[in-house]
């Protein structure tokens, strides 16, 4: 799928918009299942090399995210429907972040190291919640920010071009 870019006016309107929860009917729909599969294919494509993606990044203002669970064995990607951060707590650390919608930039962002997320399980379509720590908690914050029209550059202390990422992007053009 095409990943929207913040430097394109039409794309930026979608990236800056508030996303909505999926209705019960939408949660069960073939369209949602297709979107979820296509988002997964996009974030895991070698040309993207991401650790997460949110539906607004592919043009849909819906509360759907994929997150690579670096805190679990084999570091699987997992999907979260109607994702909401319920609590941010613990230590705050500043670390580098990038975004598929803002290549080849990186920024230093302060993020909480612990979060509680509520969501609807794509497998059972039942409400669930999870407590997440460390860098995976940072990924959840980044992706949930997308659902609220917030980009990491809005929170970054500094933003800079990542020369390594720039070279990797050039290799795929």
* 143 labelled catalytic: yes
Q: How far, CA to CA in Å, does 110 sit from each of 9, 14, 61, 132? A: 27, 25, 25, 17
Q: How far apart are CA 173 and CA 170, in angstroms?
A: 5
Give SS3 for 122.
coil
CA distance 159 to 142: 15
Q: Where are the alpha helices (DSSP H) in the chain?
A: 9-15, 24-27, 30-44, 134-147, 152-155, 163-171
Of 111, 27, 100, 28, which Cα lies nearest the Cα of 64? 27
CA distance 20 to 41: 23
- Of the residues 97, 143, 166, 168, only one is catalytic, namely 143
Question: Any idea which residues carry the catalytic annotation?
Answer: 143
């Amino acid at each position: 799928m095409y990943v929207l870019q913040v430097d394109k006016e039409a794309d930026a309107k979608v990236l800056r918009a508030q996303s909505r929860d999926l209705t019960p009917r939408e949660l069960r729909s073939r369209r949602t299942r297709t979107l979820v599969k296509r988002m997964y294919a996009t974030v895991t494509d070698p040309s993207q090399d991401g650790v997460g993606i949110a539906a607004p990044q592919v043009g849909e203002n819906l509360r759907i995210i994929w997150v690579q669970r670096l805190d679990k064995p084999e570091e699987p990607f997992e999907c979260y429907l109607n994702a909401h951060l319920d609590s941010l707590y613990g230590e705050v650390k500043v670390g580098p972040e990038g975004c598929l919608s803002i290549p080849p930039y990186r920024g230093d962002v302060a993020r909480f190291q612990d979060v509680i997320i509520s969501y609807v399980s794509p497998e059972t379509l039942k409400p669930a919640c999870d407590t997440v720590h460390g860098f995976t908690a940072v990924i959840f914050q980044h992706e949930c920010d997308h659902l609220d029209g917030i980009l990491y550059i809005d929170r970054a202390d500094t933003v800079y071009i990542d020369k390594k990422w720039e070279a990797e992007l050039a290799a795929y053009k």
